[in-house]
A and B are shown apart, each in its own frame.
Chain A
Amino acid sequence: MIRVDLSKCTGCQRCETACSFFHTGRINNHLARIKVLNLYESRLDSPVVCVQCQERYCMKCPEDALSLGKQGQVFVSPTLCTSCGVCEKACPIGALEIFNKIMYVCDLCGGKPQCVEACTEEAITFEPDNIEQISLEDIKKETTKMNPSQKRHFYIKKIGTTARKRRDQAHA
């Protein structure tokens, strides 16, 4: 999985830019499967990317278009996917999103994630053997009615508050 250490993120969006470019040859944050939020109010910066959660909410695809790879990544079948939006709605943190009728989700770049290569801050790291199962159950309850951007915002604020407490303690 790709692990995010929000305390190290500077909000530069290099991960997002690299993701978009290496998947599509173009640069557009809508085409990126990792999305950075710069939250000026709470002074938090962080990418949001699939955390390979315990619950795998996205896998209840009515068309069976989603499957799991060996490293836990999500694959979307372009022929089966009808862009119905069920998985986008199901993901509690906005890690899957449809843009121009195509579903975008992290595929780990076949085992060498370009976002991780682009990050100079070690804010995102690739841990292929990490089988830690993060539960998003609590987040899910609170983000059901949100759009993907709002979900990401909620999620970063949630994990960010914890990280900030840790930082403030270390600072004190």
Chain B
Amino acid sequence: MLKYGYGGRVLRVNLSERTFSVESLDPSWIKPVIGGRAANTKRLYEELDPECDPLGAENIIIFGTGPLTGSLLPASAYYTVTAKSPLTGILGDSAAGGQFAAEMKQTAFDQIIITGKADSLIYLLVTESGVEFFECSELSGKTIVGTTETIRRDRCDYSIEVAAIGPAGENLVHYAAIVSSGNRVNGRTGMGAVMGSKNLKALAVRGARSVELAEPLMFLDECRTIEAAIMNHNEYQKRYQLGTTMLMTDLNGIGILPTKHFQEGVCSYVDKISGQTLASTYKVKNKACFNCNVHCSRYYAVDDNEAEGPEFETLCSFTSRLGNSDLPFALEMNTYLNQMGLDSISTAEVIGWIMECQEKGLLHPDDLDGLEITWGETDKIRDIVEKITYRRGVGDRLADGATKLSQSFSEEAQKLVMQVKGLDIICGDPRGIKAYGLTYAIASRGADHLRAEPYFELTNRREEAKKRFGTEKAAHRLEEDGKAALVTYSEKIALLTDSMTMCKNIGLCMDILNLENASQLLRAGTGIDYSPNYLKKILGEAIHTDYKLNKRFGVKKEDNTLPERFQKEPLKEGPTKGSTVDIQKMVDEYFRLHDWD
């Protein structure tokens, strides 16, 4: 019996039958995966038919929180959504902060497992007593905020939190997102399309159960130590003012800000689109996730366009990555993408890929219903994004994602898709951050930095690097030595952060979380004996589960690589000039450290 930390229960919903059942969460099942992402992956590994159609009734979509979600722990605000990805055909998952997870926690369901397919558009209201199914044809085509506020109004409770899909999810755009708390996005791997394929417009949660802690005062002490470490951190002010948008100038400064679809790493007009400019011109207020003391999110207002965000990825995706210097346009796109429920990275990749291919003469407008577009053409970008959302005209093909779209074109064009395992690469040129490059290559959901977030390589902490990873070079962004060791360390902390459902900006980038304090937090929170060594062992095993699951989906070792550009073409200018990535060497070393074949 799980008494503390955990809700201790699992909810299973069958949409085809419109039934649900409640199970107790087996302590011996959950202990080796903690919760959150690792628990979701384990569930998928045990229950999903790997051959299933990701957009079919048999796919399983899981919402998971962790033992410390919604507790006193700062930014314990995350939940992970997991399913087989319609974009990549392999393990798909995506996490989001905001307010949803803490409210879901109060339903005392640690996991909500949804299977089947409803025969008409519905939403679910999950409370501590179970599920209510609501027909909602009137919500069809509605935005995220429109859906959220309609549900709250109709159910007469403004503390209800809603994770919904927008039109993009309903139209099965393969990189459609789920969005909660109005603007908090489970962006990657198309989890919104999985919801759409099940005719599930939204999952609403409202709980009345308490989060109970095994040793409340000890837990309070641990949380206060962490809060103090956050407040005293040398990046605190910067993160408070700019949030992740601080990376615009930070990455540009080291020559790795993706510009014109990764053809350049230095953006000449960065000051027009930087986090600082955003903050001084359009930011009106800070915004925060549940119980966080960083408050790194922001509201902006540009005339009638008011919303939360943007995070760095969206900002960069719709500025330099597409050769656009118009900041208000990027903010307009942030609002639109969030409300329509589209992943900004994958959306920008398909557009950027077309721009580059057309510039190089590899794609003729006739191949794409007359679409002709080049860098920074904002009106055309706006038009394409809308077409993708509704799968209208050429948008129907673009909605399958850059990787799939490219398959009907030349090999040369295919090589220009910036993706790994079918997932579009985030904004950060791996030629200047080698451990990140390795992370994109090995990440189990495809090109992604969050699986390890090896921010350490940017900190220049040489002595610490020698101590932790055997070589000072691990703390140097352009070196390849020691990076496999760094990644195998930080992927554990990343998984720990995801499974405790804490924020990675705090847990990893600010280097706040480690095996020792996590062990103290988990012990005081759950009463279960999690020693640092035990954590290390189970995190390694959980990473191996990702690997085994993807093997079932057909992923091979050679899929752990980077696009040819990063291996062969050095950047021509800036502080990363001349650098390429010897990805094979790092991947081999990474596999050797894991003892994988």
- Which of B106, B156, B183, B295 contacts A10, CB < 8 Å? B295
Distance of A171 Cα from B284 Cα, bound (Å): 8
Binds B, one of A61-69, A70-78, A146-154: A146-154
- Interface size for chain A: under 10, 10 to 19, 20 to 34, or 35 or more residues? 35 or more
> 1/0 contact trace for B147-185 toward A, CB 8 Å?
011000000111100000000000000000000011100
Q: Which residues of B contact A99 (CB under 8 A)?
A: 208
A59 at the interface (CB under 8 A from B): no
Smallest CB-CB separation from B150: which chain A residue? A41
> 1/0 contact trace for A39-73 toward B, CB 8 Å?
11101010000000000000000000000000000
Contact A152 B71 (CB under 8 A): no
Q: Which residues of A contact B216 (CB under 8 A)?
A: 21, 25
Binds B, one of A26-34, A83-91, A105-113, A134-142: A26-34
Q: Which residues of B contact A25 (CB under 8 A)?
A: 212-213, 216
Known: A12-B291, A25-B213. 11 other contacts (CB 8 A): A10-B285, A10-B286, A10-B287, A10-B288, A17-B290, A38-B181, A40-B148, A40-B149, A150-B158, A152-B158, A167-B284
Q: Which residues of B contact A24 (CB under 8 A)?
A: 210
B102 at the interface (CB under 8 A from A): yes
Q: Which residues of A contact B158 (CB under 8 A)?
A: 37, 39, 149-150, 152-153
Contact B181 A27 (CB under 8 A): no
Contact B71 A27 (CB under 8 A): yes
B293 at the interface (CB under 8 A from A): yes
Taking the closest CB of chain A, its distance from the CB of B563, in whole angstroms, is 37
B427 at the interface (CB under 8 A from A): no
Q: Which residues of B contact A13 (CB under 8 A)?
A: 99, 102, 290-291
Distance of A26 Cα from B103 Cα, bound (Å): 14
Distance of A43 Cα from B284 Cα, bound (Å): 11
- Which of B144, B146, B210 contacts A26, CB < 8 Å? B210
Q: Which residues of B contact A171 (CB under 8 A)?
A: 284, 301
Interface-central residue, A12, A20, A28, A38, by most chain B CB under 10 Å: A12
Q: Which residues of A contact B106 (CB under 8 A)?
A: 28-30
Distance of A26 Cα from B71 Cα, bound (Å): 9
Q: Which residues of B contact A120 (CB under 8 A)?
A: 231, 293, 295
Distance of A21 Cα from B210 Cα, bound (Å): 10
- Which of A12, A26, A37, A41 contacts B289, CB < 8 Å? A12
Q: Which residues of B contact A167 (CB under 8 A)?
A: 284-285
Name the interface residues of B266-290: CB closer than 8 Å to any CB of A: 284-290
Smallest CB-CB separation from B207: which chain A residue? A28
Taking the closest CB of chain A, its distance from the CB of B454, in whole angstroms, is 28
> 1/0 contact trace for B297-322 toward A, CB 8 Å?
10101000011100000000000000
Smallest CB-CB separation from B179: which chain A residue? A40
- Give the number of residues in B that approach A within 8 Å (Cβ atoms): 45
Q: Which residues of B contact A3 (CB under 8 A)?
A: none
Contact A121 B286 (CB under 8 A): yes
Distance of A29 Cα from B285 Cα, bound (Å): 24
Distance of A20 Cα from B291 Cα, bound (Å): 13
Q: Which residues of B contact A121 (CB under 8 A)?
A: 286, 295
Taking the closest CB of chain B, its distance from the CB of A104, in whole angstroms, is 13
Distance of A167 Cα from B289 Cα, bound (Å): 22
Contact A12 B211 (CB under 8 A): no
Taking the closest CB of chain B, its distance from the CB of A76, in whole angstroms, is 20
Distance of A11 Cα from B287 Cα, bound (Å): 6
Distance of A12 Cα from B297 Cα, bound (Å): 11
- Which of A31, A45, A152 contacts B287, CB < 8 Å? A45
B209 at the interface (CB under 8 A from A): yes
B145 at the interface (CB under 8 A from A): yes
A7 at the interface (CB under 8 A from B): yes
Contact A30 B208 (CB under 8 A): yes
Smallest CB-CB separation from A100: which chain B residue? B208
Query: Please, could you name 25 A-B residue pairs with CB atoms under 8 Å apart, sorted by A?
Result: A8-B285, A12-B288, A12-B290, A13-B291, A14-B292, A17-B290, A21-B216, A24-B210, A27-B70, A27-B72, A27-B210, A31-B210, A35-B159, A39-B149, A40-B144, A40-B145, A41-B145, A43-B306, A45-B287, A149-B159, A153-B158, A167-B284, A167-B285, A171-B284, A171-B301
Contact B209 A11 (CB under 8 A): no
Taking the closest CB of chain A, its distance from the CB of B128, in whole angstroms, is 11
Distance of A17 Cα from B241 Cα, bound (Å): 24
- Which of A28, A153, A168 contacts B211, CB < 8 Å? A28
Contact A12 B295 (CB under 8 A): yes
Taking the closest CB of chain A, its distance from the CB of B428, in whole angstroms, is 27
Contact B293 A7 (CB under 8 A): no
Distance of A8 Cα from B212 Cα, bound (Å): 30
Q: Top 3 closest A-B pairs, CB basis?
A: A40-B182, A12-B288, A26-B210
Contact B287 A26 (CB under 8 A): no
Name the interface residues of A96-133: CB closer than 8 Å to any CB of B: 99, 120-121
From known contacts A152-B158, A171-B301, infer whether A11 and B145 are also in contact, taking CB-CB under 8 Å: no
Q: Which residues of B contact A30 (CB under 8 A)?
A: 106, 208
Taking the closest CB of chain A, its distance from the CB of B456, in whole angstroms, is 27
Q: Which residues of B contact A40 (CB under 8 A)?
A: 144-145, 148-149, 181-183
Smallest CB-CB separation from A21: which chain B residue? B72
Smallest CB-CB separation from A170: which chain B residue? B284
Name the interface residues of B514-531: CB closer than 8 Å to any CB of A: none
Taking the closest CB of chain B, its distance from the CB of A73, in whole angstroms, is 24
Taking the closest CB of chain B, its distance from the CB of A116, in whole angstroms, is 14
Taking the closest CB of chain A, its distance from the CB of B542, in whole angstroms, is 27
Contact A43 B208 (CB under 8 A): no
Taking the closest CB of chain B, its distance from the CB of A91, in whole angstroms, is 16
- Which of B212, B231, B299 contacts A43, CB < 8 Å? B299
Q: Which residues of A contact B293 (CB under 8 A)?
A: 12, 14, 120
Taking the closest CB of chain A, its distance from the CB of B152, in whole angstroms, is 8
Contact B208 A26 (CB under 8 A): no
Interface-central residue, B181, B182, B220, by most chain A CB under 10 Å: B182
Distance of A18 Cα from B211 Cα, bound (Å): 13
Taking the closest CB of chain B, its distance from the CB of A89, in whole angstroms, is 15
Smallest CB-CB separation from B158: which chain A residue? A153
Distance of A168 Cα from B297 Cα, bound (Å): 19
Smallest CB-CB separation from B98: which chain A residue? A38
Distance of A149 Cα from B208 Cα, bound (Å): 14
Distance of A29 Cα from B107 Cα, bound (Å): 12
- Which of A14, A21, A41 contacts B149, CB < 8 Å? A41
Distance of A55 Cα from B307 Cα, bound (Å): 37
Distance of A35 Cα from B103 Cα, bound (Å): 13
Contact A149 B149 (CB under 8 A): no
Distance of A152 Cα from B285 Cα, bound (Å): 21
